[in-house]
Amino acid sequence: METSGNIYWSSTPGEGKTMTLMKMYAEKWRKDYPSNMTQTAMFRKWVPKEPMDFTSTYHSIGFNQVFTSDKVCLEMMGPYNSNMLYRDSLGECKIPIYSDEEFTVQHPMGAPGVHLGKNHGSKASHLMIVRHTEDGPVTFNEMLPSSKEETEDLRKRLDVLDLAVQKIKDNVLIKGCGPKVMERAQRGWAKDGEPDEPLGDLETMTIRDYIVNVITKMPEDIRNGRPGYVIEDTSGVDISNDPVAIRSLIDTLYDDENMKSFKAIQPPSENSQFLSHIHCFQLPDGVVPECMHNTYYDCEIILENKKKLSE
């Protein structure tokens, strides 16, 4: 076993595709960064909280050798670049689904579930989890080596995702889904300085009611901006303005006992955002589409690998 500061990696070969990729990124990290440099320390040092061009930092810290996707956006494109998810995590995210004192589970903007493939029926189940505090462990990507605290944090995030999914399955009242959901339900899509535009009766609104309302009442300037928002049904039709169709999809996905959660990350070679964000989809019998086999990696397997590597 090889040891690097607080980060531990085994040199045992033949442990599967995920392990192979994790070891490859570990070697990159070991070569380029100090032995005691954790992801958390690096993130807190280099990632700005303010909207600003990240080009110089990206190259100076060697991230051009790690985050290699052509989806990386370093310059500010209006309010958007590859640190936008981090900035949003510290404030008001667009579609929160559950929050606690540390984490926010959200439904992503853009084209949720797009990587599931054409006409896949699970796109509306797409969730992501991010840390929303300015303290505690924070990571760029779980494929990169983790400290003990960062590995424990991964377990916590996976558990919170499970909790959020269960709340949608149970269709609980939104008062049980945390402060960020309640704030969005109360404020609606009102801009700063404008009066509240509640999404409905906050006392009786369930989480499924809320999901339908927050999507269908989204202002057109947000829906059509960057990253925008579209949600497709099984025919590839955008139903983001159709409350009946959205509710039908949500009910199908979360009432079907054959649906299984797939909690996964994209490796750094596929990332458009630098803040780690675990994805979650409800998939029939847990079957991952072939088109995702090389671009999404199961976080439960990653977690088990990290435990093995620390032994």
Q: 55 φ, ψ to 5°?
A: -60, -50
Q: Which of 157, 164, 202 has its CA nearest to residue 184?
A: 202
Q: Which residue do the tokens 């209006």 mark?
A: 78
Question: Per residue in 225-236, pLDDT tens?
Answer: 888 999 999 999
* Contact (CB, 8 A) for 161 and 280: yes
Q: What are phi and psi of 278, to 5 degrees?
A: -80, 130
Among 142, 145, 159, 146, which residue's Cα sits nearest to residue 102? Answer: 159
Alpha-carbon distance 46 to 68, whole Å? 18
> How remote is the C-alpha of 201 from its chain's centroid?
28
- Dig out the tokens for 197 from the structure: 């535009």
| CA atoms within 13 A of residue 236's CA, in its CB half-sphere | 4
- Find all residues with CB under 8 Å of 307, minimum gap 6, and list them: 151
| Partners of 115 in beta bridges | none
For the four alpha carbons of 253, 258, 264 and 269, in that order, the dihedral sign comes to: negative
Rg (CA), the chain: 19
How far are the Cα atoms of 28, 65, 275, 297, 302 from residue 21, in angstroms, in the given order? 11, 15, 19, 10, 10
Could you give the count of Cα atoms lying within 13 Å of 97 in the half-sphere of its Cβ?
28
The pLDDT score that the predictor gives to residue 1 is 37
- Report the distance separating Cα 297 and Cα 85, nearest Å: 20
159 Cβ contact list (under 8 Å, min separation 6): none
Q: Residue 125 has what pLDDT?
A: 98
Dihedral sign (CA 282, 286, 289, 294): positive
Count the Cβ atoms, other than its own, within 10 Å of residue 183.
13
Contact 243, 258 (CB under 8 A): no
* Prior bond of 51 cis (ω within 30°): no
Query: Tell me, what's the pLDDT at 11?
Result: 32
Q: What is the pLDDT of residue 246?
A: 97
**Structure-block tokens of residue 21:** 């990729």
Q: Write out the chain's pLDDT in tens, 311 residues.
A: 333 334 433 333 334 899 999 999 998 888 888 877 899 999 999 999 999 999 999 999 999 999 999 999 999 998 899 999 999 899 888 999 999 999 999 999 999 999 999 999 999 999 999 999 999 999 999 999 999 999 999 999 999 999 999 999 999 999 999 999 999 999 999 999 999 999 999 999 999 999 999 999 999 999 998 889 999 999 999 999 999 999 999 999 999 999 999 999 999 999 999 999 999 999 999 999 999 998 999 999 999 999 888 86
The C-alpha atoms of residue 88 and residue 106 are separated, in whole angstroms, by 11
pLDDT of residue 109: 93
N-terminal to C-terminal alpha carbon distance within the chain:
8
